[in-house]
Amino acid sequence: MRVRVVLVLSLLALLAGVSDAKEHGHDGMQGSRFPHYFPYPPALKPQVEFWKKIFAQYSEWQVVIHDTEDLDKVYTVLDFRPFLDETGLLDGMTIEQFKAAQTKRELERIRALLLRLHARGGDDSGLTHEEKKIWNLYKDVRDPEKFRKAAEEGRLRSQSGLRERFAEGIRLSRRYLHEMEEIFRKEGLPVELTRLPLIESCFNLRAYSKAGAAGIWQFIPATGRLYMRIDGAIDERRDPLISTRAAARLLKTNYAMLGTWPLAITAYNHGPYGVAKAVKTLGTTDIDKIIRLYRGERFGFASRNFYPEFLAALEVERDYQNYFGPLRLEPPLRYDEVRLEHYLSLQHVAYCANTSTDEILALNPALQEPIRTGRARIPRGYRVRVPAGTAPLFLQRYAALAPQYKAESQNAVFALHKVRPGQTLAHIARQHGTTTAALVRLNGLKSGGQIRVGQTLRVPVRTGSKTEGQLETAQQGSDQPVTLLQASAKTGGTDTTPGKKSIGTKRVVKKPAYVTHKVRQGQTLHQIARRYNTTPEVLRRLNGVSNVRRLQAGQILRVPTNRVIRDT
């Protein structure tokens, strides 16, 4: 009996400890380096330590030249900080251009040095100091081809430091982190996952990648549209709280499919079926073995390092004062939320809340350029954030607004796209879900459709599409004006099915980036998802499937044509 009492008391103490850890927002991290559900295999130490230095030691004006297979093999570190105050000494080059040119030159020099070492055939006599240093880096590697392989294109790499950006990311994160952690707790997920934006974007709300990924969670358009509203008026990827709800659901789906958090986190970068393929190929769920041994298609440097980066970010963020000293942390976000019953201008929303338009924009980062410039209105149904305590005044002033300020429709707009190097008209058309013929017609191009870098093109805004850059109001008599999407504000997990009606006297509905799949006898949702490199959850939500086990032969499903998860 006494033994039972002791065991019960011990169990209660353990549960109390877990509860206390959750109170502090780290769910089990107290007193240990990482919680058990984020294993840290010893073999990953070189990678984790490398990224800790990138995040916390090396400046953005320092460039590390290193091996991609063994991150502890660092050849040299270029330091451009002494040039920051130099003026007129770079022949008109900016410091960024100078940094890029010197980095390229250094990569070529190190590659030539490695090939010289290979040509020695094992003879280490008469080496220079630098050659001896690199020779010693490989002294434990017995492969006679080691230096030649190290000189290959995929092995030699440069990485700029992130110290300034990472410290700023920690500082900015405190504005949203408390609410983000609450979102993840409600979903039953480890709150440490809310630190993923540190490696995705350093909590830069305006982050935008070459692949079109946006916001702190870096959703690409195809993925974002499955969870959020993305169109010419609203891009919820840029809202840190709405996109956090989307990220929570996405990570939850990854975990349900793959069974471990290291794999689910890696899938955020590489895609769930890509990671599942790695597991099947190697016959293991061990993240260490997958990182070291798997050489599948597109499982490159970014995918292999995503989980080690996450561990490094956790450690640096947890002990940020030891790495950066005291930081002036942003206070937690405080706001009220009101739902618009009409289309309303930004200026009138600010008036009703008795605040500035800048404050409304800061609280609502999903609002796109046409709303910011007054050329479009905030959509009806959108839940606008206003300063804390102003909701009653807002509702009072809103009710008193003259009817002419409460619109029943949206302005018609076109998107403006600035041509980047390497882009073709066909590429731009695919990106915006339109056709080359439409772009030729809207921009008065010649039949050949020749475009140049830096040229600005008008592109039609379609329902649910991502827009890039500014939007302009459609002029009277212009060809095929397209109205913005009319819809309620979407938060993570609500219906964002493309194809809902737009309002306006004229409209052109562009075909969204989906294909149809006719279900064959015996096919399951998992099999179909695997074929199209998406997830059963995405197909279920997109098609309103209530019972995934009861697909009918001949049933037509919509399937996104893009990869569900971005791969960098």
Q: What does the pLDDT read at residue 482?
A: 25
> At 129, is the secondary structure helix, strand, or coil?
helix
Q: Does domain 514-560 have CATH number 3.40.50.300?
A: no
d(CA 343, CA 564): 32
User: Max CA-CA distance within the chain?
Assistant: 91
Q: What does the pLDDT read at residue 86?
A: 67
DSSP state string for 158-213 = EEE--HHHHHHHHHHHTTTHHHHHHHHHHTT--GGGGGHHHHHTTT-TT-B-TT--
> Token pair for residue 437?
């013929």
- Can 163-324 and 514-560 be said to share one CATH topology? no
Do residues 298 and 274 make contact, with C-beta atoms less than 8 angstroms apart? yes
Question: Residue 515, Cβ neighbours under 10 Å: how many?
Answer: 11
> At 457, is the secondary structure helix, strand, or coil?
strand
Residues of the chain predicted below pLDDT 70? 1-32, 86-92, 412-414, 447-448, 461-514, 546-549, 561-568
- Give which of 502, 564, 8 is closest to 269, Cα–Cα: 564
Chain centroid to CA 29: how far?
Answer: 25
d(CA 102, CA 89): 15
Q: What does the pLDDT read at residue 99?
A: 93
Domain 163-324 CATH (choose: 2.30.30.100, 3.40.1800.10, 1.10.530.10, 3.40.50.2300): 1.10.530.10
d(CA 348, CA 386): 12
Q: What does the pLDDT read at residue 413?
A: 62
Return the domain boundaries, the chain. 1-32, 61-160, 163-324, 335-405, 514-560
Say whether pTM exceeds 0.85: no
d(CA 222, CA 200): 17
Angle ∠(240,243,248) on CA atoms, nearest 5: 115
- Give which of 342, 341, 360, 364 is closest to 350, Cα–Cα: 360
DSSP state string for 390-431 = -HHHHHHHHHHS-GGGSBSS--EEEEEEE--TT--HHHHHHH
Do residues 237 and 209 make contact, with C-beta atoms less than 8 angstroms apart? no
Burial class (CB in 10 A: 0-12, 13-18, 19+), 280: exposed
Known catalytic residues are: 200
d(CA 323, CA 393): 45
Contacts of 231 (CB under 8 A, 6+ apart): 368, 461, 463, 464, 465, 466, 467, 484, 485
